[in-house]
Amino acid sequence: MTAARPRRPRSRETLPDYLLSEQQLEDMYYYMLLSRRLSERMMALQRQGRAAFVIAGAGQEAAQVGAAMALKKGTDYLAPYYRDLGMNLVYGMDAREAMLNLLGKRDDPNSFGRQMPSHWGNAARRVVTQSSVVATQLLHAAGIGLAAKLSNDPIVVLTCCGEGSTSRGDFHEALNFASIHRLPVIFYIQNNGFAITERTEKEMAVENVADRARAYNMQSAVVDGMDCVAVYQTVRPAVDQARRGGGPFLIEAKCYRLWPHSSDDDDTRYRPRKELEEWAKKDPLVLFRARVETDGIFPREDLDEIEARVEEEVRDAVQWALMQPDPAPEDALGYVYKEL
């Protein structure tokens, strides 16, 4: 472990170019990095046969962290999708929990080994678990929005899916429902260019998912999902407006899936290496670090220190989680019904 270096306290004052404080910028970098490093280790564990399945959000960290930071953590609901590790970290999941979830361990607070990895659910944190069937959570978000509206609770629900999932009826039904009733729901679509192997052209005839909002008389925006600051600046006003009763909002974050679809996928079968190399230059972590360094927000050593801290947390989490107990076989039988 690296010796703790005395750190300059971070300012909580808003920086005009960012609309974020130094502290928030540090958090952004920390969560994005933690998400990426955890995912790397998860893939490694899968390759070693220690984890059955990994699905990750590499390339989407800025889109996830920037959006989640625009919410009131623990008050606003999150109905995420399977790539949203970054969002869950912002919402309070730590590295150890993320690893328990991956390994399906007994003490995984998401599901105690029942759900697939990356199907996070935590009632106390207001994270709603999802089905493996894509886009179903968008309707749940609309329903939570309805409950909030009927009980005059000034909360917002942010729900996510990929662009491919917006072909499903559930997406359209959710938008329609939320718009008719002007519910406080942010439909946050992470367009990473792929639905497993299929490119956007095969999935939809419009250029942007955001274009679809018009059909439901819903406001929408497109944002560069590789730019965490831009994401925050776009999502935050939409969240504030929804909280004030301004109705639902669709935001499309254009990003790029840097990795294969999942640990089961071989992307060399459908993605040219050249394309990947081009996009790697826009890696959200690289862009963020370059910007805050160039702008002189943090000295290089501070950023290095965050990297070291994240490395250490991930290392510890893996080592610790591997030693945690599995559920006992008879644990499979409980919780089918709620006992009255």
Partner 1 sequence: MAEMRMRDALREALREELRRDPTVFLMGEDIGAYGGSYSVTKGLLEEFGPERVRDTPIAESGIIGAGIGAALGGLRPMVELMTINFSLLALDQIVNTAAKLHYMTNGQMHVPMVIRMASGGGSQLAATHSHSLEGLYAHFPGLKVVCPSNPADAKGLLKRAFRDDNTVVFIEHTANYGFKGEVPDDPDFLVEFGQANVLREGSDVTIVGYSGSVHQAMRAAAMLEEQDEISAEVVDLRTLRPLDMDTVVRSVKKTNRAVIVEDAWKFGGFGGELSAQIMERAFDWLDAPVARVCSKDVPMPYNRDLEFAALPSEEDIVEAVLAMF
Ligand X SMILES: Cc1ncc(C[n+]2csc(CCOP(=O)(O)OP(=O)(O)O)c2C)c(N)n1
Checking DSSP bridges between strand 198-199 and strand 194-195, what pairing results, if any? antiparallel
Question: Residue 194 binds which one of ligand X, partner 1, none, with CB within 5 to 8 A depending on kind?
Answer: ligand X
Q: In this chain, which of 24, 101, 130, 192 binds ligand X, going by CB under 6 A?
A: 192
Closest CA to 161 of 203, 201, 206, 110: 203
Q: Among the candidate windows 8-16, 147-155, 217-225, 321-329, which touches partner 1 by CB under 8 A?
A: 321-329
Task: Spot the catalytic one: 182, 270, 271, 315.
Answer: 270
Closest CA to 279 of 300, 258, 307: 258
Total chain residues near ligand X (CB under 6 A): 15
Contacts of ligand X in 62-121 (CB under 6 A): 83
User: 234 vs 263, which CB is nearer to partner 1?
Assistant: 263
Q: Is 17 in the site for partner 1 (CB under 8 A)?
A: no
End-to-end CA distance of the chain: 50
Q: How far is the C-alpha of 56 from the C-alpha of 122, rounded, in Å? A: 19
Task: Spot the catalytic one: 41, 96, 257, 289.
Answer: 257
User: 184 vs 225, which CB is nearer to ligand X?
Assistant: 225
Task: State the minimum distance, in angstroms, from the CB of residue 100 to ligand X.
Answer: 23
Site track 42-71 with partner 1 (rule: CB under 8 A), x = hit: ----------xx------------------
Q: How far is the C-alpha of 292 from the C-alpha of 104, rounded, in Å? A: 37
Q: How far is the C-alpha of 68 from the C-alpha of 34, rounded, in Å? A: 15
Q: Is 323 in the site for partner 1 (CB under 8 A)?
A: no
188 is catalytic: no
The distance between the two most distant Cα atoms of the chain, rounded to a whole number of Å, is 60
Q: Is 250 in the site for ligand X (CB under 6 A)?
A: no
Q: Per DSSP, which regions of the chain are E strands?
A: 14-15, 20-21, 77-79, 157-162, 185-191, 194-195, 198-199, 219-224, 249-254
**For the residues of 63-81, what is the DSSP string, one character each?**
HHHHHHTTS-TTTSEEE--
Closest CA to 127 of 136, 135, 119: 119
Q: List the catalytic residues.
A: 257, 261, 270
What is the binding site for partner 1 (CB under 8 A)? 52-53, 104-105, 111, 113-117, 119, 131-135, 164-165, 167-169, 195-198, 202-204, 269-270, 326-333, 336
What is the binding site for ligand X (CB under 6 A)? 83, 132-134, 161-165, 192, 194-196, 257, 261
